[in-house]
């Protein structure tokens, strides 16, 4: 079981953008080798284990594949149960996120938190178009409420600008927003994933703290892309990659929802 698990997941990248690129490349998938996937009834090392035919599974770094809450562990097990003839990592975003958290964030949380804080210095939501009017209005409609939330809820007063010229943000604003970065490794890993996927730490933090839902955060992250496609036509390849990344976003949102006020 260990060898097959390694074969399927060990080469999977942590970066969701690279995951999206790899998902479009055809590769031979291993056949399903188990009859039943389920979460363990009692917590062990690392939490509630994911069991395949009653046997525990390990991550690519040989850590127990387990979650701190049983209903989260069951959601991971459900991905394994949903596999049919073959095991397709592209259809298992929650498992991939769990691997990344267990193998990376649990023992070394600081790099994940630092990446979110880095995004706060040049967040997507700070850089606005000056034309056309429709795009300006769409950005304001999706982004202004999040910037206002950061100001009201986090006491983080960021500077907005038009164009792409870098504007240094007040250190006080970055520090205030950084204090909202979760410390629990599961919530931190999910927030980090949402940050990378949307290109916005503010969207990720709003999602983390329940100020924004996954669909709204995803729409806000793609205002510019949607505007361009509305003007010039759909890009089917881009939309396919986007659908894959949205599954990653939904996995992050599920972790944040399931662990809210429990970790």
Alpha carbons 119 and 139: distance in angstroms, whole number: 18
Alpha carbons 66 and 39: distance in angstroms, whole number: 8
Q: In the chain, which residues have pLDDT < 50?
A: 1-4, 11, 13, 17, 20, 23-26
* In the block, residue with structure tokens 């100020």: 211
pLDDT confidence of residue 19: 52
Domains of the chain: 2-105 (3.30.2180.10), 109-259 (1.10.3580.10)
Residue 168 — φ and ψ, nearest 5°? -70, 130
Residue 102 DSSP one-character state = I
pLDDT confidence of residue 8: 56
- Beta bridge partner(s), residue 47: 44
Distance between alpha carbon 36 and the CA centroid of its chain, in Å? 27
- Beta bridge partner(s), residue 161: 127
């Amino acid at each position: 079981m260990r060898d097959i698990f390694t074969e399927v997941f060990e080469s999977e990248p942590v970066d969701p953008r690279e995951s999206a690129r790899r998902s479009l490349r055809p590769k031979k998938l291993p056949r399903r080798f188990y009859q039943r996937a389920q979460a363990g009834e009692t917590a062990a090392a690392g939490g509630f284990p994911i069991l395949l035919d009653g046997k525990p599974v390990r991550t690519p770094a040989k850590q127990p594949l387990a979650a701190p809450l049983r209903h989260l562990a069951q959601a991971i097990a459900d991905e394994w149960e949903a596999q049919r003839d073959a095991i397709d990592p592209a259809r298992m975003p929650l498992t991939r996120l769990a691997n990344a958290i267990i193998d990376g964030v649990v023992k070394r949380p600081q790099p994940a938190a630092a990446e979110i804080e880095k995004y706060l210095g040049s967040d997507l939501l700070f850089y606005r178009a000056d034309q056309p009017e429709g795009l300006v209005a769409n950005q304001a409609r999706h982004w202004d409420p999040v910037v206002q939330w950061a100001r009201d809820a986090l006491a983080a007063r960021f500077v907005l600008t038009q164009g792409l010229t870098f504007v240094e943000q007040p250190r006080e604003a970055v520090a205030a927003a950084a204090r909202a970065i979760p410390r629990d490794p599961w919530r931190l890993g999910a927030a980090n994933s949402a940050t990378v996927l949307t290109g916005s730490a503010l969207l990720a933090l709003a999602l983390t703290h329940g100020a924004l839902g996954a669909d709204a955060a995803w729409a806000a992250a793609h205002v510019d892309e949607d505007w361009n496609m509305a003007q010039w036509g759909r890009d089917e390849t881009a939309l396919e990659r986007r659908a894959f990344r949205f599954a990653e976003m939904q996995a992050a949102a599920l972790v944040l929802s399931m662990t809210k006020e429990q970790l």
